[in-house]
């Protein structure tokens, strides 16, 4: 292996080749078997121009390993990014569960999190409209617990048998191998339009939840109803929720498209930079806990994964917090090889009869066997428990742990010293005992039959701005469908959700006539109340902490103006980055060089949450003629962003053509009070009152 900090000393070989000199302080390069290597530049040949020789074991080992560097990528959730951190229990709940992780306030449990998009391949972009995976592996004292969820609390389907069809429909078509990382195509909407149960999830995906600003600003959900089991073997139902400490935030669609062009690794870079700078992302873990009596009174079946429990109906209690504070040392070894399985639970947490959860419990283990080569994927460090573990499992592909001694079976009658592990009725996992009866059948329960009521509740709970975004998203997606009948079928479903929603989409698509509502076994409930918790804008936190301000600067500015503005935003906990015509920065009014983090055409406004402009009069003409500068400000305006400007920049905005559009989303800068007013405005994130936005 190479030393991470080698000296720059090389020796020239006879034939011009370069060799590293172990004698000068380098670690000696070796084969995987530890054999020192004398030449890593040339294969072994029969003569300088002769054929390569098969006995060149170094070349064969090196190429063998290279040829097998890639493992099969995940069929779904292929594009992911992960981080290490810890979970801290903030409220002990022994009355609800015997799970050790929830017994002691203040105790920290190590964990690993992987965020992901669902539909795209590994090389796709970050800002696709999609659900986001939110999977957490807790390394508890009782073994690993995997809470494998999404940033959306419901799912498309009710029964796992439809999962292959869903994924086939949304992924690229088998004959043409596109579209990639998007759902705006005929196959997906054809499937959706024939599956009424998908309508609730469709509302979420088409909302701003489908294009989050950052992993740090999105919620996470366990999706399914699980069980808590306490020491008395009493059962309570539980749903898990992750709440971002900085609140939720999304982008607008036009912005997402441009971010994917500017920086397809936008979410990855954001998480990396946040952790590397010490601004550790944090979420609170909350639970909704209820008993069978409450479940029986609820309007919907708690085992239906296409349904949720509104927070207003059952408040969430916070029991812990998660902090991410370390990036992996190696992406492949950890983020790519981490294996999450819904069936990885610990004593005190158990399953329910949710048919989608039951199917996932089977499928995930099968997937890991395929991806990671065999049953020993738990031997990979990122997947291995951090507590003691003992069993008689042995051998298999890439086995790292095998029982020692002669005993590899149980029961056995050998002495304790060599007998090996035994089961523990006191501490071991026990499945909750419940009566099970019924005929063998392939039917959905009638309690799963209402496919539109909660979809309607979600839509009416959004602000007018968010509703318009849903309408625009549906219009865009369906406009990409070439088959008109598919568009009509989707609109027929929308009529069961909200008539105004359906009419708006139909008008935007210019359908010749409104289709009849799609046949439904259950009439949509009209009396479900608005749930503010379902809206991003209604739950906004008034802080700019964790966000990013981009400041466009030119030659000739007063350095004090820049320093004062940066200081105010950094005190808030925001990141501030400078953008200039050239990445080398600018020269201020006193002749001092001020460096920039971005060149203007590589640091466009979609990459920032708000923008400001500090210019000098002498730089206005040149800046106004620069296409990238014009895009910087017109995009910021179109994306509803707050724009700060000094007196000189007002002339620039006039030349760009924004003079007659300067609304209250523009804030004049120049002194501490106006800078603080700009920060106060930016805490709103967007100036949604702007009429000409994207």
The answer for residues whose C-beta is within 8 angstroms of residue 441's C-beta and 6 or more apart is: none
Strand partners, 135: 114, 148
Domain 80-383 has CATH 2.40.180.10: yes
> Which CATH architecture does the domain made up of 542-682 adopt?
3-Layer(aba) Sandwich (3.40)
pLDDT value, residue 26: 78
Average pLDDT over residues 242-247: 98
pLDDT value, residue 19: 40
Average pLDDT over residues 51-60: 89
Average pLDDT over residues 423-445: 87
**For the chain, which residues make up each domain, given as ranges?**
80-383, 542-682
pLDDT value, residue 15: 40
Closest CA to 692 of 636, 649, 651: 636
- pLDDT at residue 61 greater than cutoff 50: yes
CA pair distance 424, 437, nearest whole angstrom: 29
- Whether omega for the bond prior to residue 334 falls within 30 degrees of 0, making it cis, is no
Closest CA to 573 of 281, 256, 214, 321: 281
More confident residue, 195 or 48: 195
pLDDT value, residue 16: 39
C-alpha distances out from residue 31 to 20, 35, 42, 60, 65, Å: 15, 5, 15, 10, 11
DSSP SS3 for 631:
helix
84 annotated active-site: no
Average the pLDDT over each of 11-15, 243-247, 495-499, 524-528 and give the range with the smallest value: 11-15
Mean pLDDT score of the chain: 93
- pLDDT at residue 391 greater than cutoff 90: no
CA pair distance 355, 284, nearest whole angstrom: 28
User: Sign of torsion, CA 110 116 118 120?
Assistant: negative
pLDDT value, residue 153: 98
Per residue in 263-315, pLDDT tens? Answer: 999 999 999 999 999 999 999 999 999 999 999 999 999 999 999 999 999 99
- pLDDT at residue 3 greater than cutoff 80: no
C-alpha distances out from residue 650 to 76, 623, 644, 656, 659, Å: 48, 12, 10, 10, 8
Which is the catalytic residue, given 77, 241, 493, 598? Answer: 77
More confident residue, 394 or 321: 321
DSSP SS3 for 667:
strand
Average the pLDDT over each of 25-34, 75-84, 106-115, 248-257 and give the range with the smallest value: 25-34
150 annotated active-site: yes
Assign 50 a pLDDT band (cuts: 50, 70, 90): confident
DSSP SS3 for 234:
coil
pLDDT value, residue 509: 98
Assign 120 a pLDDT band (cuts: 50, 70, 90): very high
pLDDT value, residue 694: 53
Average pLDDT over residues 483-506: 98
Per residue in 576-589, pLDDT tens? Answer: 999 999 999 999 99
Per residue in 193-238, pLDDT tens? Answer: 999 999 999 999 999 999 999 999 999 999 999 999 999 999 999 9
CA pair distance 133, 113, nearest whole angstrom: 10
DSSP line for 114-181: EEEESSS-TTS-TT-SS-EEEEEEEEETTEEEEEEEESSSS-S-SSGGGHHHHHHHHSPPTTT----S
- Whether omega for the bond prior to residue 268 falls within 30 degrees of 0, making it cis, is no
Assign 75 a pLDDT band (cuts: 50, 70, 90): very high
DSSP line for 238-304: EEEEEEETT---B--HHHHHHHHHH-TTHHHHHHHHHHHTT---EEEEEEEEE-HHHHHHSSS-TT-
Which is the catalytic residue, given 58, 144, 150, 493? Answer: 150
What's phi and psi for 101, nearest 5 deg? -65, -20
CA pair distance 521, 432, nearest whole angstrom: 34
DSSP line for 546-577: T-EEEEEE-TT--HHHHHHHHHHHHHHT-EEE
Expressed in angstroms, the distance from the first to the final Cα of the chain is 52
The answer for residues whose C-beta is within 8 angstroms of residue 297's C-beta and 6 or more apart is: none
Two tokens, residue 503 = 């009419």
- pLDDT at residue 22 greater than cutoff 80: no
Number of neighbours of residue 435 by Cβ within 10 angstroms: 4
Average the pLDDT over each of 48-52, 526-530, 597-601 and give the range with the smallest value: 48-52
- pLDDT at residue 2 greater than cutoff 60: no
Global pTM reads: 0.92
CA pair distance 183, 117, nearest whole angstrom: 12
Assign 4 a pLDDT band (cuts: 50, 70, 90): very low
DSSP line for 591-625: S-EE--SEEGGGS-GGGSSEEEEE--GGGHHHHHT
C-alpha distances out from residue 686 to 243, 576, 585, 608, Å: 21, 18, 28, 12
Per residue in 332-373, pLDDT tens? Answer: 999 999 999 999 999 999 999 999 999 999 888 888 888 998
Task: Tell me which DSSP letter residue 524 carries.
Answer: P
- pLDDT at residue 184 greater than cutoff 50: yes
pLDDT value, residue 614: 98
Closest CA to 554 of 480, 614, 484: 614
């Amino acid at each position: 292996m190479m030393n991470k900090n080698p000296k720059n000393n090389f020796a020239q070989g006879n034939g011009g080749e370069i060799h590293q000199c172990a004698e000068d302080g380098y670690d000696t390069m070796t084969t995987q078997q530890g054999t020192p290597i004398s030449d890593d530049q040339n294969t072994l040949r029969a003569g300088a121009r002769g054929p390569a020789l098969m006995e060149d074991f170094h070349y064969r080992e090196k190429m063998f390993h290279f040829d097998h560097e890639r493992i099969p990528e995940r069929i779904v959730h292929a594009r992911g990014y992960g981080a290490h951190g810890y979970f801290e229990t903030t409220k002990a709940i022994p009355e609800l569960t015997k799970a050790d992780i929830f017994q002691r306030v203040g105790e920290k449990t190590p964990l690993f999190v992987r965020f992901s998009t669902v539909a795209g391949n590994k090389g796709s972009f970050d800002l696709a409209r999609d659900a986001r995976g939110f999977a957490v592996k807790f390394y508890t004292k009782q073994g690993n617990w995997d809470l494998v969820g999404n940033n959306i609390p419901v799912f498309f389907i009710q029964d796992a048998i439809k999962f292959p069809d869903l994924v086939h429909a949304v992924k690229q078509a088998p004959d043409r191998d596109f579209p990639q990382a998007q759902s705006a195509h005929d196959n997906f909407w054809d499937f959706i339009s024939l599956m009424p149960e998908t309508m609730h999830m469709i509302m979420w995906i088409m909302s701003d939840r489908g294009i989050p600003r950052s992993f740090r600003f999105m919620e996470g959900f366990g999706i399914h109803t699980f069980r808590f089991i306490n020491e008395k073997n009493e059962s309570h139902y539980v749903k898990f929720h992750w709440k971002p400490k900085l609140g939720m935030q999304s982008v607008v669609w036009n912005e997402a498209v441009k971010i994917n062009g500017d920086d397809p690794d936008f979410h990855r870079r954001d998480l990396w930079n946040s952790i590397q700078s010490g601004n550790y992302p944090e979420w609170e873990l909350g639970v909704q806990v209820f008993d069978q009596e409450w479940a029986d009174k609820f309007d919907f079946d708690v085992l239906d994964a296409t349904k949720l429990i509104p927070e207003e109906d059952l408040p969430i209690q916070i029991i812990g917090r998660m902090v991410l504070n370390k990036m992996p040392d190696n992406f492949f070894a950890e983020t790519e090889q981490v294996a999450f399985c819904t069936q990885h639970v610990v004593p005190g947490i158990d399953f329910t009869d949710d048919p989608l959860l039951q199917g996932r419990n089977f499928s995930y283990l099968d997937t890991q066997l395929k991806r990671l080569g065999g049953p020993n994927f738990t031997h990979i460090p990122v997947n291995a428990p951090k507590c003691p573990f003992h069993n008689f499992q042995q051998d298999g592909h890439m086995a790292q742990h095998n029982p020692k001694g002669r005993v590899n079976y149980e029961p056995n009658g050998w002495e304790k010293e060599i007998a090996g592990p035994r089961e523990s009725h006191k501490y071991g996992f026990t499945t909750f005992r419940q009566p099970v009866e019924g005929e063998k059948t392939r039917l959905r329960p009638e309690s799963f039959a209402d496919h539109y009521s909660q979809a309607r509740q979600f839509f009416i709970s959004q602000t007018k701005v968010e509703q318009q975004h849903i309408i625009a998203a549906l219009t865009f997606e369906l406009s990409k469908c070439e088959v008109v009948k598919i568009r009509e079928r989707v609109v027929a479903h929308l009529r069961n959700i909200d008539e105004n929603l359906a009419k708006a989409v139909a008008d935007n698509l210019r359908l010749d006539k409104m289709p009849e509502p799609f046949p439904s076994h259950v009439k949509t409930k009209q009396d479900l109340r608005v749930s503010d918790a379902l809206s991003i804008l209604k739950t906004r936190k008034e802080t700019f902490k964790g966000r990013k301000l981009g400041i466009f600067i030119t030659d000739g500015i007063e350095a004090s103006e820049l320093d004062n503005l940066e200081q105010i935003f950094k005190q808030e906990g925001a990141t501030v980055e400078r953008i200039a015509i050239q990445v080398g920065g600018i020269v201020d009014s006193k002749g001092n060089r001020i460096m920039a983090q971005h060149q203007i055409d590589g640091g466009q406004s979609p990459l920032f949450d708000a923008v400001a402009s500090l210019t000098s009069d002498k730089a206005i003409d040149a800046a106004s003629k620069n296409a990238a500068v014009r895009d910087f400000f017109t995009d910021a305006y179109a994306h509803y962003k707050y724009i700060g400007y000094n007196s000189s920049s007002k002339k620039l905005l006039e030349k760009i053509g924004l003079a007659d559009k300067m609304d209250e989303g523009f804030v004049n800068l120049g002194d501490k009070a106006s800078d603080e007013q700009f920060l106060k405005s930016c805490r709103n994130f967007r100036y949604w009152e702007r009429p000409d936005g994207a």
